[in-house]
Structure 1
Amino acid sequence: MKILNQVQEDEVIAEFLLAEINSDRFKEGILNALRDHDLNLLIKPNLNDQTENKIRRDILGQTRGYGRNTDLFENFPKEVKWYKALFKKQDLKEVMYINYSYWNELSSNTRLPLQASKNIMNQIEVYEISNQGFLDINLVLKNGKVFPRLIFVSMNENSQIVVLEGHARLTAYFIESEYIPYELEVLIGYSEKFSEWDLY
């Protein structure tokens, strides 16, 4: 892993929403929270516009609990230093899922996407949820589609790294790992207080 430069929280929020507006699971909630605002607020964010940044922050709060200490972001640290980084394939193999029942089961309690991808290819499904979505993402990855950056978190550079956003995409990469780029640009946040985040 190579850290490139620090980024602002607003960029991370924008990237998170850009990814989830394309998610079958989260798209409807985001569009409802967007209300009458222009969709370009999410698709072509202007990070220099503080009004836009506030709207995006509110949307992520409504849909995923960001800044409200609920849902995905319950006990999430208030102060996180965010960076742009490059991950190689070997680095990605060590990234873990959040500590959540579905991802635990899918990965045979390893929390590793590589193990989950093996289970998917062995047609193991958990909680009666289809694996087709992973296969669909894998297909478009093979066809060269570029997705929003994965978002990771960690306590420090010597601690475990956990996916905050991008579980399905990371899993899809490992279904046919030869399609993982030599280096993949991601966003990663650091805070010692991630030890208090239940999903870490």
Structure 2
Amino acid sequence: MRRLRPSSEAEMIALFLRTELASARFQDGLQALLARAGQPERVVTDPNLDDRDENHARRQLLTWHREYGTRSGLFNGFPDDVRWEWAAITPAELATVRYIDYSYWVELSGGTRLATDAAPRIRAGAAPFGVRSDWLPAMAAAVADAARFPPLILVTAEPRSDADLVVLEGHARLTAFMLRSDRLPPELEVLVGSSPTMSRWGLW
């Protein structure tokens, strides 16, 4: 993994929200939260990271949406000292990135938490807990057609090691990438957060 440039918590939050606002699964809920906060959708779709009030508003949105500020839900036990940076990752390195320790993703991957192991199971019709993955082949086809996707958000406990990465946001995209890893570019840009106490995160 090749380090590119520093990032920040504010940029991570902005990317997380922007990606989930574009998701059919989360769009309605996030739009309702924006209305509750009296904020225009532009705060998420076109963020100004130099605006402290905007950054505060987005942090509050992510707290309402995913319990970020309270360090519960998805962010249960998530460290407060995460250092964020942009990096370029190769397909081979991406193949070693683990899913979060959550029952659906553990089952889909056959227990390994690796998207490379989930891929053949999806092709065979795996449906953990009755949840089918019929939508993934279409996303994989988009990968093969060189469609652009938002960057993945990854985390690690070792800032200078590429061997222990977990995906915080982007499980579906990671899986689609592994379904068509033969069509990935030589490198993909990702946002990486590191903390020596990352193992305390409940989904690590």
TM-score under structure 2 length normalisation:
0.94
In structure 1, distance between residues paired with 2:12 and 2:95 = 22
1:66: which partner in 2?
68
Q: Where in structure 1 do 4 or more consecutive aligned residues deviate above 3 Å?
A: none
Structure 1 residues 57-84: Cα deviation after superposition (integer angstroms, max 9, x where no partner): 1111101111211110010001100010
Aligned twin of 2:47: 45
Q: Unpaired segments of 5 or more residues in structure 2?
A: none
Report the AA paired with residue 165 of structure 1.
Answer: E
1:13 deviation in Å? Answer: 0.6
Work out whether 1:162 is the aligned partner of 2:170. no
Q: Report the count of equivalent residues.
A: 200
Matches within 5 A, 1:107-146: 107-146=109-148
How far apart in 1 are the matches of 2:53 and 2:134? 38
Deviation at 1:163, TM superposition (A): 0.3
Contact 2:143–2:180 (8 Å) recurs in 1 = no
The alignment's TM-score, normalised by the length of structure 1, stands at: 0.96
State the Cα RMSD in Å. 1.2
Partner of 1:103: 105
User: CA offsets per residue over residues 127-171 of structure 1, 9 Å max, x none?
Assistant: 111202222222332333212110000001335110000000000
Equivalent position amino acid for 1:21 in 2 = L
- Note the alpha carbon deviations across 1:4-37, whole angstroms, 9 max, x for none: 1211111111111111112222222211111142
Q: Is the 8 A contact 1:87 1:184 kept in 2?
A: yes
In 1, the alpha carbon distance for the partners of 2:188 and 2:75 equals 25
Question: C-alpha separation between the residues in 1 aligned to 2:3 and 2:143?
Answer: 24
Structure 1 stretch 104-113 or stretch 117-126: which is displaced more? Answer: 117-126
| d(CA) in 2 for partners of 1:106, 1:133 | 14
Q: Is the 8 A contact 1:4 1:85 kept in 2?
A: yes
Please say if residues 19 and 147 of structure 1, whose CA atoms lie closer than 8 Å, have aligned partners that are also in contact.
no
- 1:189 matches 2:179: no
Q: CA separation in 2, counterparts of 1:21 and 1:130?
A: 23
- Tell me, in whole angstroms, the C-alpha distance in 1 between the residues paired with 2:54 and 2:21: 16
1:21 and 1:179 mapped to 2: Cα distance? 27
Indicate the percent of aligned positions where both proteins have the same amino acid. 38
